[in-house]
Amino acid sequence: MTDSYRDKGRRRRLVEDLRKKGISDEAVLAAIGAIPRHLFFQKDFEEHAYEDKAFPIGNEQTISQPYTVAYQSALLNVKTGDRVLEIGTGSGYQAAVLAALGAQVYTIERQEALYLRAQKLLSDLGFVSVRCFFGDGTKGLPLFAPFDKIIVTAGAPVVPDKLKLQLRHPGGILVIPVGDTVQRMFRIVRTSAETWQEDGLDTFRFVPFLEGTVRNDER
C-alpha cells in the first residue's frame, strides 16, 4: 500500500478543487489532504480516487464524493477528542478523515463484508482511534452513547429518534441526509435533554439507510 508523489500531487489538486467549490474549513481540507483516498478504493477504480466523484466499493455501495465528505465533516465541527459515531462505514474513508480531525471514532456498518474489509484496512493503516462495529446503525450504538457528534452517510427516510437521544446535551450535533430519492442534509443540535434545533441545508444523493444487517453467507 503505497502513497506516491503522484498520489500526493493529485490529492493537492483535489483539495484545491474542493476549495473552489466552496469548502473553506481548513482543518477539513487538511484532513482530506492527509488521507490517501486511493487506498480505500478497489483496484479497478483506483485511477479515479482523486476525482470529486462517488465510486463503487462492492456490495452495491459507494464511497461518498469528496465534496460530500468535506461538507458533512465541516458541519460536524470536530474538536480534538470528540467522540464521533459514524453510521455507514462503507470503505472506511470518512472514518479515516474524522480520525485525522482528531476524533475518537466509532463506526458501524450493516454489511458484514464491508465491515470486515474496512476494519482490516483501518487497522493496517494504523488508525488506532477508529473502532469498527457490525450492526444496524438505525439503533445507534447505545453501549457507547452519548456522542459529541453523529454522522450518517446513507440517505435516511426519517431521522431516527434513537440517534437524536444518543447525542450529548447540550451541544451534540447530528449530521444526516434525509429523504427518499434525493436527500436534504440536516444539521441537528441537541440544545437540552428534550430540545433539538434542526436546520435543513443542501441536497445530495446517498445510497439508502436500511434496517437490519447482512451477513456474508446471506449473499
Strand partners, 62: 56
User: How far is the CA of 79 from the CAs of 74, 82, 87, 132, 166, in angstroms?
Assistant: 11, 6, 19, 20, 18
Number of H helices, E strands in the chain: 6, 9
- Shortest Cβ distance from residue 137 to ligand SAH (Å)? 3
Please report, as ranges, the residues that interact with ligand SAH according to CB under 6 A: 61-64, 87-88, 90-91, 93-94, 108-111, 114, 136-138, 153-154, 207, 209-211
181 touches 198 (CB < 8 A)? no
Closer residue to ligand SAH, CB minimum distance, 116 or 169:
116
* Catalytic-labelled residue, pool 24, 64, 123, 129: 64
**Nearest residue to ligand SAH, by Cβ distance, number only:** 90
Smallest distance from ligand SAH to CB 47, Å? 18
Beta strand pairing status for 83-87 and 149-152?
Answer: parallel
Residue 64 bears catalytic tag: yes
**CA dihedral over 35, 42, 136, 123, signed as positive or negative:** negative
- Closest distance to ligand SAH from the beta carbon of 50 (Å): 15
Beta carbon nearer to ligand SAH, 76 or 114? 114
Nearest to ligand SAH of 170, 215 (CB atom):
215
- Residue placing its CB nearer to ligand SAH in the complex, 85 or 188: 85
Q: Are 82 and 102 in contact (CB under 8 A)?
A: yes
Residues belonging to the active site: 64
